[in-house]
Amino acid sequence: MAWQAGLITLIGTMTIFGITFWLIRSTRSPERAEAVTPGIYAMRGKYFIFLSLVILITLFATLRGLPYFPPEGAAPAYEVTVKGKLWFWEVTEIKALSGTTEIAPTAVPAGKLVQFSISSEDVNHGLAIYNSQGQLLIQTQAMPGYPSKLYYTFNEPGEYFLVCLEYCGMGHQSMTSKFTVL
Amino acid sequence: MSENQLQTKRLAIVYAITGLVVFFVLVLLGFTMRLNQAGALDLPPDFFYALMTLHGLGMVGVLYVAAYIGVWYLISQYTKPSLGLAKFNYVLILLGVVGLMLSTLIGRFGAGWYVLYPLPFIKTWPEWAVGTAVISVMLLGVAWLLGQLDVLRAIAKRYGFAEGLGWGYLSGNPKEKDLPPMVVITSVSMIAGALTTVVGAIMLMLYLAKWLNPALEFDALLMKNMVFLFGHTLVNITLYFGVAAVYAMLPLYSGRAWKMNKIIALSWNASLFLILLAYFHHLYFDFGQPVWVQYVGQFASYLSTVPATVVTIFGVFAQIYRADMKWSFVPLAFVLGIMGWIVGGFAAVVDSTIRLNQVLHNTQWVPGHFHTYFLLGVVLMILAVLYYLMGPKEDKLARFGLWSLLLGGFGFVAMFFIGGIQSVPRRMANYDSLPIKSVAQVGQMTAGIASLFILLIAVGAIAYYIAVFKGVKQAWSGN
């Protein structure tokens, strides 16, 4: 997902660079304002329609599958309770929810929807889950007084890491933990 | 030049020189931070975070003040903002800056520019440092609010409040036929600024109360909303001040008028609402927020591209396309600044997409986009205004500085973007403790390369400073 953002931004940046330098070069062959501005304003009307369409389509395409709800039609099979404290993550409990079997007290099974129940006991923290390749998979804030739930299905067994992504004081950079997916 | 105009110009020069010096010092702090992240320095984390707090608060503050004073100077051609108040504010701002330096460099207060409640009140820095920081930011806030209200007063006195907002053009019956567009942009920005500075002031008063009475408890989500409404808007209007200067000054170089019309009025009035709603995108991952607010955040962030690009960018097109103009420092810095603003804004809109924000939030992507529209956007616009204010005619060295800054700047921000794509967290003193070695290595490597690019930025800044300072004496005498 981050690569998509990078690619879109790179293409956008190159386009903006290109247009700017083309615009600067255009002053080598000057023309009266009255001769060029009607064409620019006609283009502006078309651009307005184009931009409005892009915004509508992108909003429609991206405002779904948001992290505020569990994936449609799926019930979480496991719950992992995580507490943020200055400056460590405490995985207090991993338990199977109704209809499933607990496989190990310290591990999460692959291929099952997991619900993370996250809270903070002091200041704001940010819980991010990374895989062992260093890819940020999902995140949420751990805000005091506002416990939150995060849903994710781990398809690959292995080690996963909890990293604090909300600056929380002098020990912030070492506020990490890990768990295993079997 | 009348005595009042001369005094206005001189005060703007005093602000400008102070701002340029503070800016350079804060660049050096940023350089130190990137060296530390690269592993070339070994600063204690609490000192790193104190520097980070000073760098963040300082940059937001100095760029706001510099952009404000640029607009204040330009708008004084049409209206009469108070000279006395601007002098008073200079003292307040200096006191605020000194207080912040004491709090961070000596007290090691390091809660970040956004002082996310209740972090300032944990006991890892002395209590006096908390109080000093809160009071210092309050002093700055008072100065900013007074300055915003004064410019609004001056505009209302000259044009009337509604006319200053371009409402005459909206109704199709403007009383002022030659209303400069920068007046509308300035009015909108000052209103948004004043409203949200009041919100910031309330938040700071609550902080002060908590500092005096630690037993008090506040709602963390409410405080976060308040700080981002204040901070996001302050940054946003800083950019708008830069854009207001472009509207006012580009015609001086292109030889083409940039006249007020209904579309400009509509677009900037719409921006007033969009500014106030877009800040929600800072809280996408605070699940305590109502979900509909998250939708509003993405919606407003996307819609804010409409006035910015449809009106301002096409306005710049109409100014420049095949215009008979020479690319001296000032118009070049303005156009490249607009370019940086749009590139940074584009990356910000990408980041404001909730699904992408899920993997970009609080990674280095975020400093990537805001350094782009600050360093390569509004800074260039400010440098253009300050050159117009006090630079000499000969600008070869300044143009060299501009290209060096541009090259160094884009290289510098590219390292943030690469770090963000590779999931490198932001706001970390070092990456030694990260258990994922691949992320730690990318974090250190990109910080190291970024440090080299900062040297190019510094070379560019020094070249610009030498060039612009050569003209100060003449500018001071009013020529």
Write phi, then psi, for B291 (nearest 5 degrees).
Answer: -65, -35
Residue B473 has pLDDT above 70, yes or no: yes
pLDDT (tens digit per residue) in A87-113:
999 988 888 886 655 555 568 889 999
Residue B465 has pLDDT above 90, yes or no: yes
- Cα–Cα distance measured from residue B55 to residue B37, given in angstroms and rounded to the nearest whole number: 15
Q: Which of A41, A145, A167 sits opposite B220 (nearest CB)?
A: A145
Residue of B nearest to A45 (CA): B310
Q: Which of A5, A124, A148 sits opposite B350 (nearest CB)?
A: A5
| Average pLDDT rounded to a whole number, residues B296-309 | 92
Question: A2 and B365 in contact by Cβ < 8 A?
Answer: yes
A31-40, A89-98, B209-218, B427-436: least confident range: A89-98
How far apart are the two ends of chain B, measured CA to CA in Å? 9
Residue B99 has pLDDT above 90, yes or no: yes
The DSSP result for A85-148, as a single string, is ETTEEEEEEEEE-TTS----TTEE-TTSEEEEEEEESSS-EEEEEEETTS-EEEEEEEBTTB-E
pLDDT at position B93, please?
97
pLDDT (tens digit per residue) in B240-279:
999 999 999 999 999 999 999 999 999 999 998 898 999 9
| Average pLDDT rounded to a whole number, residues B120-137 | 96
Residue of B nearest to A133 (CA): B438
Which chain A residues contact residue B336 at CB under 8 A?
20
CB B352 within 8 A of CB B301: yes
Q: Which of A2, A27, A86 sits opposite B325 (nearest CB)?
A: A27
Question: A173 and B119 in contact by Cβ < 8 A?
Answer: no
Peptide bond into B118 cis (omega under 30): yes
Question: A33 and B256 in contact by Cβ < 8 A?
Answer: yes
Residue of A nearest to B37 (CA): A173
Which chain B residues contact residue A41 at CB under 8 A?
314, 318
**How close is the nearest chain B Cα to the Cα of A39, in Å?**
9
pLDDT (tens digit per residue) in A160-169:
999 999 999 9
Q: Give B374's pLDDT tier (boundaries 50, 70, 90).
A: very high
Q: Which of B287, B317, B327 sits opposite A40 (nearest CB)?
A: B317
pLDDT at position A101, please?
56
ipTM of model: 0.94
pLDDT (tens digit per residue) in A55-84:
999 999 999 889 998 888 788 989 999 999
Q: Which residues contact B393 (CB under 8 A, 6 or more apart)?
A: none
pLDDT at position A65, please?
86
pLDDT (tens digit per residue) in A6-45:
999 999 999 999 999 999 999 999 999 999 999 999 999 9
Percent of chain B at pLDDT > 70 equals 100
Taking Cα atoms as reference points, which of B130, B269, B256 lies closest to residue B192?
B269
Q: Which residues contact A49 (CB under 8 A, 6 or more apart)?
A: none
Residue B396 has pLDDT above 70, yes or no: yes
Q: Give B123's pLDDT tier (boundaries 50, 70, 90).
A: confident
**How close is the nearest chain A Cα to the Cα of B293, in Å?**
12
DSSP B216: -
Average predicted confidence (pLDDT) for chain B:
96
pLDDT at position B297, please?
95
pLDDT at position B181, please?
95
